[in-house]
Amino acid sequence: MKLTLKNYELIPMMEFLQKMELPANESRPVVKFVKLLSEALKDIQESQMALIEQFGKRDDKGEIVLTEDGTDYLIDPDKSEDYEDHSKELLNEEVVIEGGPFVKVIERLPAVLEKYDTKISGKDALIYDRLLDEFEKDKEELKNESSE
């Protein structure tokens, strides 16, 4: 199993998968896949923090300044355009998700998604479709590799 996703897709996918209500035996592939997405997200967050270190607004002690509510970092206004460019580039990078030790469990995820009969719309419908497209693409690639 090898899925190629954009970095900006990881959080919405995790949110969608985590709110799925499933029988216990069908939840395992979802949980294992979310774990893989979480690991990929950690790498993205580290890269994002490196950008903040590079482009963040600093106080007179050299520390990066937080917003008034303390929930985010301020970006140096003179560097904000560069920060935005680098941040967009990071979010548009592709990440490859592979099953690792849980590949057999995660391979059951497409069947779980196909059986999922809760009504969805908007962002959730797009994420659902995107996940199934990626699993179908992976299945097709495996089929092509085995026929060569």
DSSP-assigned letter for residue 50: H
pLDDT per position as a tens digit, 67-100:
999 999 999 999 999 999 999 999 999 999 998 8
Is 143 within a domain? no
Q: How many domains does one find in the chain?
A: 1
Please choose, from the candidates 113, 143, 130, the residue with its C-alpha nearest in 3D space to the C-alpha of residue 5.
Answer: 130
Q: Model-level pTM?
A: 0.86
**Residue 12 pLDDT:** 96
Is 94 within a domain? yes
CA atoms of 39 and 99, how far apart (whole Å) = 12
Domain containing residue 130: 2-134
Distances (CA, A) of 69 to 62, 74, 75, 139: 20, 11, 15, 47
Please choose, from the candidates 65, 83, 62, the residue with its C-alpha nearest in 3D space to the C-alpha of residue 74.
Answer: 65
**Residue 101 pLDDT:** 86
Is 147 within a domain? no
Is 146 within a domain? no
pLDDT per position as a tens digit, 90-138:
999 999 999 888 889 999 999 999 999 999 999 999 999 999 999 999 8
Is 124 within a domain? yes
pLDDT per position as a tens digit, 29-70:
999 999 999 999 999 999 999 999 999 999 999 999 999 999
CB 117 within 8 A of CB 21: no
Is 7 within a domain? yes
Is 64 within a domain? yes
Q: Report the Cα 19 to chain-centroid distance in Å.
A: 15
Tell how many helices (H) and how many strands (E) occur in the chain: 6, 2
Is 144 within a domain? no
CB 109 within 8 A of CB 26: no
